[in-house]
């Protein structure tokens, strides 16, 4: 369910026509639906109600402080992968008891910040990191809680891109599962540390619930082995990776995942264990669109090109992963109002390559895409852009990052202003700033 829909000939976000957002704030601009974000979080949490998980929203998918705060008020925690994301979580008022930190290369400073804040769990990814954490814990006089991120060597399904697969042997994330027990024992023997369990994150997006099942079965075997040796395992963090619907009816429902996961985890939680999830994409992707304006139309060989004001610096996923984003005008002709993302039945469409303004030949948002006939100045929406959209923007080509706007009902609020030329050079003109 999302709150982006065509009504009266125009795309609305909740009660607001997006053309009015484009006029007021310009483009390219990310527009988020508060109701959708909240609804997705609530329904995700409800699907797993039976095992009462701690749901830590993955800030790297969508990290605007206002949106983290919105989710925090609903009871969500935050999964951070850097000190910067921890800082955002703190500004958003997220309770450290609902904050977890992951990352294969955490700095000493980042670990120290997490120790000082006494966050719910630090997910460590190597033997060397356990040593460093132990040293910091002694210096700080604290006993941080940690889980060991395990690489369970589970291949995701064939639709998970290799570039976003994280849980197969030889990859950079986590500790090989056959070395995890040794590391657990080392941490458990350290009175400066409280090692509580294990963490996995398998990749993203994962469409097949059986991938989770396989990883959980391996994890539970490890838990059983350690419990037989007298340890108590109280935390199992199953990560994120749940899919979002980029088309129509391609992603399984949260209930499909819950069925497989609850069946395996119910026994662990009945014994007092805490399950943690770190969903990002599945909550945020369809809670945001990127709106853009057509700058030019041109022909190149046999191809019709439409050149937008948004490109790979504003939404990197298409160029980086060949990802699909549904794209459609904010005000399509009446006969081309899409009832779904399958537009093959609509009349009068033209095939375009959709490109951005960046000087880089990978700067395509879509190739060979059927769209209503476009004119310069027309506004388009690039859908399912709420996750890994704004957070992956860059200033390449000295492009200014987009504005972000939050819609709730008929209320529209700017939650990040568009960058200016001064913003682009603010960190470089040090002499001027220091008056030297």
Q: Which is nearer to ligand PLP, 18 or 51 (CB)?
A: 51
Judge whether 54 and 393 are in contact, CB under 8 Å.
no
For the record, the structure tokens of 123 come out as 């997910």
**Minimum CB separation from ligand PLP for residue 94, in Å?**
15
Q: Which is nearer to ligand PLP, 144 or 240 (CB)?
A: 240
**Minimum CB separation from ligand PLP for residue 81, in Å?**
5
Quote the strand ranges of 84-231, DSSP E: 99-101, 121-124, 145-151, 175-176, 194-199
84 is in an annotated binding site: no
The sign of the dihedral angle between the CA atoms of 138, 177, 55, 53 is negative
Cα 294 from Cα 307, distance rounded (Å): 6
278 is in an annotated binding site: yes
**Minimum CB separation from ligand PLP for residue 164, in Å?**
8
Cα 233 from Cα 60, distance rounded (Å): 28
Cα 93 from Cα 109, distance rounded (Å): 21
**Minimum CB separation from ligand PLP for residue 171, in Å?**
12
**Minimum CB separation from ligand PLP for residue 283, in Å?**
8
Q: Which is nearer to ligand PLP, 33 or 58 (CB)?
A: 58
For the record, the structure tokens of 366 come out as 């879509």
Of the candidates 322, 312, 283, the residue with the CA atom closest to the CA atom of residue 389: 312
Kindly state the greatest CA–CA separation across the chain.
71
Cα 92 from Cα 61, distance rounded (Å): 16
Q: Which is nearer to ligand PLP, 242 or 328 (CB)?
A: 242
Q: Which is nearer to ligand PLP, 60 or 369 (CB)?
A: 60
Q: Which is nearer to ligand PLP, 205 or 402 (CB)?
A: 205
Label residue 92 exposed, middle or buried (CB < 10 Å: 0-12, 13-18, 19+): buried
Judge whether 412 and 405 are in contact, CB under 8 Å.
yes
Distances (CA, A) of 24 to 16, 20, 28, 250: 12, 6, 12, 35
**Minimum CB separation from ligand PLP for residue 432, in Å?**
38
Distances (CA, A) of 138 to 104, 107, 115, 179, 292: 22, 17, 10, 25, 52
Q: Which is nearer to ligand PLP, 134 or 160 (CB)?
A: 160
Distances (CA, A) of 154 to 98, 255, 260, 336: 27, 22, 16, 43
Backbone torsion region of residue 264, taken as left when φ is above 0, otherwise alpha when ψ lies between -120 and 50, otherwise beta: alpha
Query: Is 121 a known active-site residue?
Result: no
The full DSSP string for 53-85 is -EEEEETTT---HHHHHHHHHTT-EEEESSHHH
212 is in an annotated binding site: no
241 is in an annotated binding site: yes
Judge whether 195 and 180 are in contact, CB under 8 Å.
no
26 is in an annotated binding site: no
Query: Which residue is catalytic, options 13, 56, 121, 359?
Result: 359
360 is in an annotated binding site: yes
Under the rule (CB under 6 A), what is the footprint of ligand PLP? 58, 60-61, 79, 81, 102, 201, 204-205, 239-242, 278-282, 387
156 is in an annotated binding site: no
**Minimum CB separation from ligand PLP for residue 112, in Å?**
20
Residues tagged active-site = 359
**Known binding positions for substrate:** 281, 317, 321, 360, 388
**Known binding positions for pyridoxal 5'-phosphate:** 241, 278-281, 388
């Amino acid at each position: 369910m999302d709150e982006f829909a065509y009504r009266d000939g125009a795309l609305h976000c909740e009660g607001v026509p997006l053309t009015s957002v484009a006029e007021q704030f310009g483009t390219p601009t990310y527009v988020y639906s508060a109701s959708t974000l909240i609804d997705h979080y609530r329904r995700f949490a409800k699907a797993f109600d039976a095992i009462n998980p701690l749901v830590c929203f993955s800030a790297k998918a969508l990290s605007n402080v206002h949106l983290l705060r919105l989710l925090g008020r609903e009871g969500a925690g935050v999964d951070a992968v850097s000190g910067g994301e921890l800082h955002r979580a703190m500004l958003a008022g997220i309770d450290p008891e609902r904050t977890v930190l992951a990352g294969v290369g955490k700095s000493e400073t980042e670990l120290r910040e997490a120790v000082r804040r006494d966050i719910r769990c630090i997910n460590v990814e190597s033997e060397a990191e356990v040593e460093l954490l132990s040293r910091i814990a002694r210096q700080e006089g604290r006993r941080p809680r940690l889980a060991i991120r395990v690489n369970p060597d589970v291949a995701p399904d064939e639709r998970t891109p290799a570039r976003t697969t994280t849980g197969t042997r030889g990859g950079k994330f986590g500790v090989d599962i056959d070395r995890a027990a040794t590391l657990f024992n080392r941490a458990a023997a350290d009175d400066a540390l409280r090692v509580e369990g294990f963490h996995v994150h398998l990749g993203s997006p994962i469409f097949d619930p059986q991938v989770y099942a396989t990883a959980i079965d391996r994890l539970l075997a490890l838990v059983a082995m350690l419990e037989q040796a007298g340890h108590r395992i109280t935390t199992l963090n199953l990560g994120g990776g749940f899919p979002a619907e980029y088309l129509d009816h391609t992603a399984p429902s949260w209930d499909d995942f819950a069925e497989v996961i609850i069946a395996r985890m119910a026994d662990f939680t009945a014994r007092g264990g805490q399950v943690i999830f770190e969903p990002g994409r599945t909550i945020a992707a369809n809670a945001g669109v990127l709106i853009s304006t057509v700058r030019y139309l041109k022909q190149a060989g046999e191809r019709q090109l439409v050149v937008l004001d948004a490109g790979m610096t504003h939404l990197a996923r298409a160029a980086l992963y060949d990802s699909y984003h549904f794209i459609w005008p904010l005000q399509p002709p009446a006969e081309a109002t899409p009832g779904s993302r399958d537009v093959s039945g609509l009349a009068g469409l033209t095939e375009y390559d959709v490109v951005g303004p960046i000087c880089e030949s990978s700067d395509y948002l879509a190739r060979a895409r059927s769209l209503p006939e476009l004119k310069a100045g027309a506004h388009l929406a690039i859908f399912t852009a709420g996750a890994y959209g704004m957070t992956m923007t860059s200033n390449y080509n000295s492009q200014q990052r987009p504005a972000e706007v939050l819609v709730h009902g008929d209320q529209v609020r700017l939650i990040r202003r568009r960058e200016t030329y001064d913003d682009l050079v603010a960190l470089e003109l040090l002499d001027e700033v220091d008056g030297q």
